[in-house]
């Protein structure tokens, strides 16, 4: 399990105690949260493939559950992608050009992924495609809809990208469903919160139904990559988007107990407790070969960890202090920026390490594999960001030029 990609709209914290403006903003503390998630996923995969997790029962259960970064990335996506829509709606503005939104999302995720997939599969062969028919499905991120292709492939963690793409499509549709003229502000707020709670409960009940009817482990794992069964992971971030947009639109101030360091500490302690429970109290196997009931319990606890990690990065970092020092320092922000490259490249370097050293999987050096994977992933992540992702994002951010009524070109306003 792994983490979906980052989003350019959300990485920053504005200075001062004033509430967030309704427009686009940056939240550097979210970059730090993204960095923590990406590094956690990398450590889990090195621990699994090297066999270190199985060899060290004292720390193995904790390392095995650092793939909680998956849920962190989904919560981040829920906040970053939904906030522009809800902020515009609460201000009575149109949501923006959907074509621009689609272009930005495509350019954010696909160019870097396609380059990585091509090099990993056909140059490094770490690993290569096993079945030619799967090539198109992986390039189009449709492989999660075929049970035979769910596990494996050159970038096995790309299942999260498929889920992410489905969420990209879902967000404007949900925003349209929530948009009806004539509602008062408080009526719209109640609808937003109520609708999102319905999504969360509905997704939970759908997963419980799968557990109840006794689907196989592999089928539950596959359906867990499909958005209807995974949408609950995005809801906490979407709720944060509604809250912050409402505060900004009403020019309100969040209470000091929310914006202070105490709130962040309380959230992070709660996240650590939930992580301890999922790591040590569920009698889970080291490898993520869970039964449906185990997988569902893990997902719920992971979501609690993710929500409690991200909430202070959104609500408390406005005032600087603890959250800013921990999650918005220059190193954390930079690691967050290159985290997508780390995400899509790191497992290939684990395979390369085994090939170069001749060590067998599950009996390899944890330290050696970790050093090679970290250094190579940092280099690949930086190259991906500076050479592919950032230039593609700049292209996506350019507003389209349209012909106005006088036959002259005019700049269209940019969507989120």
Residue 332 located in a structural domain? yes
Collect all residues with Cβ–Cβ distance below 8 Å to 366 and sequence separation of at least 6. 46, 47, 50, 51, 52
pLDDT, residue 395, reads 93
Residue 213 located in a structural domain? yes
Task: Name which of 386, 251, 263, 385 is nearest 313 in CA terms.
Answer: 263
CA atoms within 13 A on the CB side of 303: 18
Q: Which residues of 93-106 are buried (b: 16+ CB within 10 A; e: fewer)?
A: eebbbeebbebbbe
pLDDT, residue 7, reads 41
pLDDT, residue 317, reads 73
Distances (CA, A) of 298 to 288, 292, 404, 408: 10, 10, 54, 57
Distances (CA, A) of 291 to 110, 220, 221, 283, 370: 32, 8, 9, 12, 29
Cβ atoms 259, 316 nearer than 8 A: yes
pLDDT, residue 288, reads 87
Radius of gyration of the chain (CA): 21
Report the interhelical angle of 339-357 vs 98-118 (nearest 10°): 10
Structural domain of 389? 28-411
Domain count, the chain: 1
Whether residue 173 is preceded by a cis peptide bond, meaning omega within 30 degrees of 0, is no
Please give the chain's pLDDT, 416 residues, in tens: 444 434 433 333 222 323 333 345 678 899 999 999 999 999 999 999 999 999 999 999 999 999 999 999 999 999 999 999 999 998 888 888 899 999 999 999 999 999 999 999 999 999 999 877 789 999 999 999 998 888 778 999 999 999 999 999 999 999 999 987 767 788 889 999 999 999 999 999 999 999 999 999 999 999 999 999 999 999 999 999 999 999 999 988 899 899 999 999 999 999 999 999 999 999 999 998 999 999 999 999 999 999 999 999 999 876 568 999 999 999 999 999 999 999 999 999 999 999 999 999 999 999 999 999 999 999 999 999 999 999 999 998 877 665 454 444 333 233 33
Residue with tokens 């469903």: 177
Residue with tokens 């991200």: 310
Task: Name which of 55, 73, 53 is nearest 63 in CA terms.
Answer: 53
How far, in Å, CA of 265 to CA of 263, rounded?
5
Is the four-CA dihedral 120, 125, 129, 132 of positive or negative sign?
A: positive
CA atoms within 13 A on the CB side of 187: 6
Element at 402 (helix H, strand E): strand 401-403
How far, in Å, CA of 325 to CA of 315, rounded?
15
- 3-state secondary structure string across 287-334: CCCCCHHHHHHHHHHHHHHHHHHHHHHHHCHHHCHHHHHHHCCHHHHH
Q: Enter the pTM of the model.
A: 0.90
Residue 153 located in a structural domain? yes
In this structure, the number of other CB atoms found within 10 A of the CB of residue 253 comes to: 13
Pairing between strand 401-403 and 409-411? antiparallel
Longest dimension (CA), the chain: 73
Is the four-CA dihedral 12, 74, 159, 48 of positive or negative sign?
A: positive
Is the four-CA dihedral 197, 34, 393, 1 of positive or negative sign?
A: negative
Residue 57 located in a structural domain? yes
Is the four-CA dihedral 289, 294, 300, 304 of positive or negative sign?
A: negative
Three-state DSSP state, 31: helix
Cβ atoms 57, 219 nearer than 8 A: no
How far, in Å, CA of 278 to CA of 299, rounded?
9
How many residues in the chain?
A: 416
Residue 22 located in a structural domain? no
In this structure, the number of other CB atoms found within 10 A of the CB of residue 108 comes to: 22
pLDDT, residue 27, reads 83
Residue 19 located in a structural domain? no
Task: Name which of 146, 168, 150, 158 is nearest 116 in CA terms.
Answer: 158
Residue 325 located in a structural domain? yes
């Amino acid at each position: 399990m792994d983490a979906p990609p980052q989003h350019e709209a959300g990485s920053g914290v504005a200075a001062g105690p004033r509430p967030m403006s309704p427009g686009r903003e940056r939240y550097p503390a979210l970059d730090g949260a993204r960095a923590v998630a990406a590094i956690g996923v990398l450590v889990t995969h090195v621990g699994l493939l090297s066999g270190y997790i199985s060899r060290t029962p004292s720390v193995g259960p904790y390392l095995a559950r650092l793939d909680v970064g998956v849920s962190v990335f989904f919560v981040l996506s829920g906040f970053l992608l939904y906030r522009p829509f809800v902020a515009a709606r609460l201000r009575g503005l149109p949501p923006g050009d959907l074509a621009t939104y689609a272009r930005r999302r495509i350019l954010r995720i696909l160019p870097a992924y396609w380059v990585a997939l091509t090099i990993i599969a056909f140059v490094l062969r770490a690993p290569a495609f096993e079945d030619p028919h799967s090539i198109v499905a992986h390039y189009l991120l449709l492989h999660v809809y075929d049970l035979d292709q769910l596990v494996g492939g050159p970038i096995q963690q790309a299942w999260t990208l498929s889920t992410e793409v489905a969420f990209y499509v879902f967000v404007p549709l949900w925003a349209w469903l929530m948009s009806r003229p004539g509602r008062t502000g408080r009526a719209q707020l109640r609808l937003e919160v109520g609708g999102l709670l319905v999504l969360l409960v509905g997704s939970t009940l759908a997963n419980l139904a799968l557990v109840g009817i006794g689907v196989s482990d592999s089928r539950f794992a596959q359906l867990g990559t499909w958005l209807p069964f995974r949408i609950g992971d995005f809801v906490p971030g979407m709720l944060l988007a509604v809250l912050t947009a409402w505060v900004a639109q009403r020019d309100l101030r969040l209470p000091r107990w929310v914006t202070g360091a105490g709130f962040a500490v309380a959230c992070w302690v709660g996240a650590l407790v939930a992580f301890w429970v999922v790591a040590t109290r569920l009698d889970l196997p080291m490898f993520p070969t869970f039964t449906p009931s185990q997988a569902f319990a893990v997902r719920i606890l992971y979501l609690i960890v993710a929500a409690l990690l991200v909430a202070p990065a959104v609500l408390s970092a406005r005032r600087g202090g603890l959250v800013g020092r921990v999650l918005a320092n220059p190193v954390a922000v930079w690691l967050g920026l290159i985290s997508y490259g780390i995400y899509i490249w790191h497992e290939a370097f684990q395979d390369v390490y085994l090939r170069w050293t001749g060590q067998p999987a599950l009996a390899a050096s944890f330290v050696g594999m970790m050093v090679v994977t970290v250094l190579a992933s940092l280099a690949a992540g930086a190259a991906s960001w500076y050479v592919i992702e950032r230039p593609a994002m700049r292209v996506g951010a350019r507003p389209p030029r349209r012909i106005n009524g006088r036959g002259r070109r005019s700049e269209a306003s940019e969507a989120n």
